[in-house]
Amino acid sequence: MKISKPTKKLPQNLKELLKDIGENSVLFQIYVRIHDTPWKAFKNLDDSGCDIVLVNLETNKTIKVEVKTRQSLYTTATSTKTEGSREFEVTKNEYENFDILICLWYDYNSFFILPKSELKGENKSIKIRIRKSKSGGYGDKDRFLNNWQALLDLL
């Protein structure tokens, strides 16, 4: 049985669902790592520019996390040029407001944790391209794969 890819634009409600799944997946991964510390993680409902806020309940220090999710399991893209490759775009507003970026590539359940110091933000958006090689790695992005220590270092 051959499954054909849809040719229309993804419905907004599906885009929002995928975004929520990604943010909640990251929130769970963070919780697993901080549950026995004074830090708590919350979905950001107030400020623009980040999706998750970590708060130290003893010191009130905060860490802002931006989450980007991509997938090709359900997509309207039909180009073979993008197979095994995804682009994560960060807006200027997001760059100015987050402390750390977490990119989730659903297809491979791969989390890429990028400290802000690794990104070159100026007066425009930033695009991070991640490509899966035939050997299974991610080239120069391997160092960010499941690099949860980068987040823990901010605590």
**Cβ neighbours of residue 50 under 8 Å, at least 6 residues apart?**
44, 64, 65, 66, 94, 97, 98, 99
- Tens digit of each residue's pLDDT (9 = 90 or more) over 96-112: 999 999 999 988 999 99
pLDDT value, residue 130 = 94
Q: If you average pLDDT over residues 42-65, what whole number do you get?
A: 94
The mean predicted confidence, pLDDT, of the chain is 88
Where helices occur in 35-147 by DSSP H, the ranges are 92-97
pLDDT value, residue 120 = 79
Percent of the chain beyond pLDDT 90? 65
CATH code for the structural domain at 12-152? 3.40.1350.10
Q: Which of 69, 70, 62, 126 is nearest to 93 (CA)?
A: 126
Residue 81 has pLDDT above 80, yes or no: no
Residue 20: which pLDDT band, with cuts at 50, 70 and 90?
A: very high
Poorest-pLDDT segment among 50-59, 72-81, 83-92, 120-129: 72-81
- Tens digit of each residue's pLDDT (9 = 90 or more) over 114-127: 999 998 766 678 99
The tokens of 100 are what? 């750390």
pTM of the prediction?
0.87
